[in-house]
Amino acid sequence: MERFLNRFRIFSFRCQLCTARFRAYRNQLPGQTSAVDRREYKRLPVSFRANLLSENSVRIDNRVTDISMGGCTLETRTALPEGTFIELVIKPASDEEPIKIETAMVCSSRPESMGIRFLEIVATDKNRLSQVILSLLVGQTFHPNLFA
């Protein structure tokens, strides 16, 4: 169905803030996406502190290097194996309340970083996360070459 609609320039999109899917007509073809990158949300560069709690109850301090509504990349000294379920607490700023991701999963593991997918987020934390993403997107609009 997607391919059929694409021929008529009707493409699927996902809102970067509320996560809703919708279809829209687009006069130009969207940029070619990599076959490897299957993310539904654009990752935005950040530098946030984060704590994660793995299955074996070990708390590890990390740094979030990019984030979206669907996941993030953690810079870490202790990489966990792919498929590990974790609890993640992200601290966007010292004066803001932390955002708690109830359940997340390690999707990719590299020597100094891990790709994390968010699976379960309480509604209030999801709203705070969308506010952080909104502020990042607004900052990106005003300073496009900083995030290029």
Q: Taking all residues of the chain, what is their mean pLDDT, rounded to a whole number? A: 79
Residue 42: name the closest of 83, 70, 21, 73 by CA. Answer: 70
Percent of the chain with pLDDT over 90: 31
Q: How is domain 44-146 classified at the architecture level of CATH?
A: Beta Barrel (2.40)
Tokens 């990106």 belong to which residue?
A: 140
Domain ranges of the chain: 1-32, 44-146
92-104 pLDDT, tens digit each: 876 778 999 999 9
| Contacts with 61 (C-beta within 8 Å, 6 or more apart), sequence order | 49, 50, 51
Residues, the chain, total? 148
**Could you tell me the pLDDT band of residue 118, with boundaries at 50, 70 and 90?**
very high
Give the pLDDT confidence score for residue 5 in this predicted structure.
73
Which string of DSSP letters, residue by residue, matches 80-134? PPTT-EEEEEEESSTTSPPEEEEEEEEEEE-SSEEEEEEEEE-HHHHHHHHHHHH
Q: Is the pTM of this model over 0.75?
A: no
DSSP bridge pairs for 12: 23
